Every structure is written in C-alpha cells, then in structure tokens.
Chain A
Amino acid sequence: MSTCHEMRNRLLMKQSGEYEEGLMGPLAEHLASCAECRRFEADLAHLSAVAPTALEEDAPLRIRRIEPRSRPMPFPLSVFWGRPLMGTAAAAVFLVALLGLRAVLFRPSLPPDDDSSSLLLASLPSRESLLREWQYWMGYGAGNAGEHAHPMPLIENGWSPSEMAQQLLIFEGLGPDVEWGVEEIFWVEEPFVFPQDARAIGSSSQQVV
C-alpha cells in the first residue's frame, strides 16, 4: 500500500513535470505489476483533460480600473493651479488656519495643579456648588436667615470639604454607597437646632417638609 501511495505521488509529479527522469525505472516496474495504479494513472489523465474545462468560468467583469502609475495632481493643486486669484485666496485661508493652529498649540501653559487627577479637577466646581448649597440649607434655607445664620463649620470630624461633598453625592443616590442614611449625614451638633419636621436635605429641587 505504501508503495502504491509513493508510486502515485510519483505519477502526480510526473504529470506536473516535476518528476526526475532517473526515477522512472521503479515507477514503470510498479505500473507493470499493479493494475490499480494503472487505473489511477488513467483516471488522472482523464481528469486532467476534462476538469479544467468543466470547472472553467469566464471572469464576468473586466477589471474596474487600473490604478495609473503616474498619479494625478492632488486635488487642491489641480483645482487652483493656473488660477492666481483662487490660489491667493486659498493661501490666505491656509495662513489664517495656520495662525489659529499656532495660537492653540503654543498658548501659555497653565500653572501646575496640585491635584493631578483631571477628573477630580473637572468635578471640583460641582462640589463647590454642593458645598454652597449645603451652607445655604444649613444656615438659611432651614429657617436661620440673615445675620442669625449659624456659622457653618466646613470641617467636622476630620472631613475635608471634598469629603463632605462626596457624602452629599452619596446622599442623593449618586455615590457608591446608597445605604448611607440621613442620620449619618446630619452630624451637626448643638447649638444648631434643626427643625423637627425636616427629614431630608439635598439640592434646591428637593422639597423640605
């Protein structure tokens, strides 16, 4: 069997023109004694004659377009070449765009920020507004208007203003810990007297009952 396999390989290579003439002797000897390999050779010859025609298909489309070796002039040049007025206008637009780009790219750099996190920097104004709102509700909105407003300590229990703002966000359901309760937010102590019926604080859109 392995001899037949090898001999058929040789038949294939003979048919493709890759078979070396010096090895023809063993192949001829094998073919003389093996009817199945002779049949294989005949079938191979038959298929080689018939299959290319049977499988052949005309390409239905011509090549759409052969890319030219010499490429056309780029669009701006081809349009403006030979038209001085349009060329001048285009140059002016280009110059203005270049100056604008320069102004953007080479503007004075901002002073270095203590907080390296750009995300934190971006969110700082909202925290400030929350703090102002906090002060308003604690000092004014809850009934202590005007000059009687209780001075609001911004740092209590070792919290920084940003931590307080964070707690406000949590209170409004925006923070990671939604379990954080009202009682824990309201850590303000005497002498501030909180109205008894006030149970919630928050942004100005929230109703105080």
Chain B
Amino acid sequence: MEYGDMSDRSLLRAGRKGDNVALEALIARYQRPLYTFLLRMVGPSGADDLFQETWRRAIKAIDRFDDRNLLGWLFRIARNLAVDRSRRESRWVPLEDGVRDPPYRSPTAAPDHAMANRELEERIRAAVAELPVEQREVFLLRMEGNLPFREIASIQGVSINTALARMQYALQKLRVALAEFRPSEGGDSHEHVS
C-alpha cells in the first residue's frame, strides 16, 4: 500500500516503529493547513521556526498521542507554541507582515472573474489579519483546520459558546469587509465591479 493511501493511524503506527517515510507522508498531509495557521498567527518570521518546532514536538511525543484527531493535536501544539512566542515577545506580529504574495492560481476563469477573485482573496487576508487574536484563531482553526467547535473550544480552553461567539464576531467583521464581494442571489457572480 502506498503511504498516501494509508490512514493517519496507520502512518502513526508505522512512524512509531521507526518508519521515517511514513512520518514524512504524515507531515506532507498536514503541513499546509498547519503552516497557514502559523503564518496567519505569527507572521513569516516566526512561522517557519514554529512549524519545525511543532513537528519536532509532535514526533517526540508521538508515543503519547491517543489517535483521536491528529490535526487537532497538531494545531494544539502549534497554537501553544504561538502563544508562548507571543508571551515572550509581548506582541503579535502584525499580519500585514504575514501576508505573502498570493499563491499562483491557474488562469482557468475569465480574466475579470480571476481579477475579482484575486482581489477578494487579498481582501480576506487583510480582513483576517485585522481580527483580534482569539477571533482570528477560531476562524483559522475552523476554516483552515476544519476543526469542530468543540475541539476549538478545547484548544482555546474556553466553553463552546465562547468559541462560537468568537466565530460570530469574526464573521461579522469579515462580512462587513467583504460586503461588496457578496454573491448575487441567483448565481456566483460578484456584486463588486472593479
């Protein structure tokens, strides 16, 4: 069986027995959401180090992992590292610093549509960067990690109602920022005209 087809649990089991290729496959599977989360939380200067450190700690403690939700566990480690870093530096890196060039997208859509999409994505990145830390955390854990709110609440050490309220506040701000890009009632075209 290819490593890519193996379940997290199988890869973990192989990793515990010393199969480094299995661990690498596991890392490849989750590196993108994890790195995105760290990048949006601490900026590029800290994201690389915390990304490495997250995996280092995860692999070191792999024997203690209880096989429930690997991504949630990884996000928990990453989030704690980000909080520690922010305490050390007494600040969160402004996210303008964390915004990189948007990733390359294949030009399958029409030029106008692609331009509007690019503008929308830039607006989303900027709006997320403006969110308070707790709200940004909930939003990223939900959108990037696809974690359920119970897991997010557990990671943040708050009640599920608090996590939901933070998400609502985050969405409220994002909706205001993105109002002009709201899809029209009958289709996916944007109201925004640039």
Contact = CB atoms under 8 A, between A and B. Distances in A.
Interface of A: 5, 8-9, 12-13, 16-18, 40, 42-44, 46-48, 50-61, 63-64, 66-70
Contacts of A58: 32, 35, 103
A36 to B, nearest CB: 11
Given A9-B164, A43-B182, A18 B36 contact: no
Contact of B182 (A46, A53, A69): A46
A68 B32 CA distance: 23
B148 A55 contact: no
A59 B39 CA distance: 9
Interface residues of B, number: 51
Contacts of B87: none
Query: Which 10 pairs of residues, A with B, have the shortest CB-CB distance?
Result: A69-B18, A54-B121, A59-B35, A54-B124, A59-B31, A9-B164, A51-B143, A66-B20, A16-B148, A57-B36
Nearest to B147: A16
B55 to A, nearest CB: 5
B175 interface: yes
Nearest to B139: A51
Interface string B4-23: 00000000000011101001
Contacts, number: 106
15 contacts: A40-B175, A44-B171, A47-B174, A51-B124, A51-B128, A52-B143, A55-B125, A56-B103, A57-B35, A57-B100, A58-B103, A59-B34, A61-B52, A66-B59, A68-B18
B56 A56 contact: no
A18 B48 contact: no
B40 interface: yes
Nearest to A51: B143
A67 to B, nearest CB: 6
Interface string B50-86: 0110011001100000000000000000000000000
Contacts of B183: 42, 46
Given A16-B148, A43-B182, A50 B52 contact: no
Nearest to B16: A69
B174 A61 contact: no
B189 interface: no
Given A9-B165, A55-B40, A66-B23, 19 more contacts: A9-B161, A9-B164, A12-B168, A16-B147, A18-B149, A42-B183, A43-B171, A47-B124, A47-B171, A50-B121, A51-B128, A52-B143, A54-B120, A55-B124, A56-B144, A60-B48, A61-B52, A69-B17, A70-B18
